[in-house]
Amino acid sequence: MSEFDSAAIVALGSNLPGRFGSPEQLLRRAMTALGRLSETPPRFSSLYPSKPVDCPPGAPDFVNAVAALWPHEDMTPRALLEELLRIEAQFGRDRDDVANAPRTADLDLICWGSRSESSPSLQLPHPRFAQRAFVLAPLAELAPGWIPPGQSLTVSMLLAAAVPQESATWEFAAAKYAK
């Protein structure tokens, strides 16, 4: 059993500056805010640059990271999602009607142990995380040999399968964290 089997995995992303600074600075501050949601010390990946995926044309590049949290026992997935949305708003996230629009802060609950949920506002595990190198590369830094819920491959194997051929950053991460 891995310590990540009980962790809430949160993907962080930003591609717009805000009142707290650059996307990199925003993510660092968001990590501090996320840390307050964890009973035990959280784990954070490095920051990774990435190209926009499924975003409007001309969207700026992203900075991404992953956090592993061990939330308080009384917290539910829906309550954790509400906290993530509150942190996004605190960092200037404007949830407009444009899908995948540029944003100051994007915090996605990817999975939380073996919990599963399917509602209009929350799907656990996240339905597309295993195809997204911008989630898998930072996650591979923290837990390369972990098999996430609903998957049969380790994070590093999922990353190797998801790596866009045009991205040297992801190819480097896939090679670095392959086990």
Residues whose CB is less than 8 angstroms from the CB of residue 174 and which lie 6 or more positions away in sequence, other chains included = 133, 137, 140, 156, 159, 160, 163
Q: What integer is the mean pLDDT of 149-168? A: 81
Given the residues 103, 115, 128, 132, the one annotated as active site: 103
Q: In terms of residue numbers, what domain contains 14?
A: 3-128
* 96 annotated active-site: no
Enter the pTM of the model. Answer: 0.90
Residue 140 domain flag: no
- Flag whether 106 is in a domain: yes
**Closest C-alpha among 9, 19, 35 to residue 143:** 9
15 close to 52: Cβ distance less than 8 angstroms: yes
> Averaged over 66-91, what is the pLDDT?
95
The domain that holds 8 is classified in CATH as 3.30.70.560
Residue 35 lies in a domain: yes
Instruction: Establish if 164 belongs to a structural domain.
Output: no
- In a domain, residue 163? The reply is no
Please state, as a whole number, how many other Cβ atoms lie within 10 Å of the Cβ of residue 73. Answer: 6
User: How many separate domains does the chain show?
Assistant: 1
Q: What average pLDDT score do residues 141-150 get?
A: 95
Please, what is the average pLDDT of the chain?
88
Catalytic residue, chosen from 19, 36, 94, 108, is 108
Q: What is the mean pLDDT of residues 140-148?
A: 95
Catalytic residue among 93, 94, 97, 128: 93
Does 87 reside within a domain?
yes
Lowest-pLDDT choice from 18-22, 27-31, 79-83, 138-142: 18-22
pLDDT at 166 over 70: no
For the question of residue 5 being annotated catalytic, the response is no
Q: Which of 97, 106, 115, 132 is catalytic?
A: 106
Q: Does 61 participate in catalysis according to the annotation? A: no
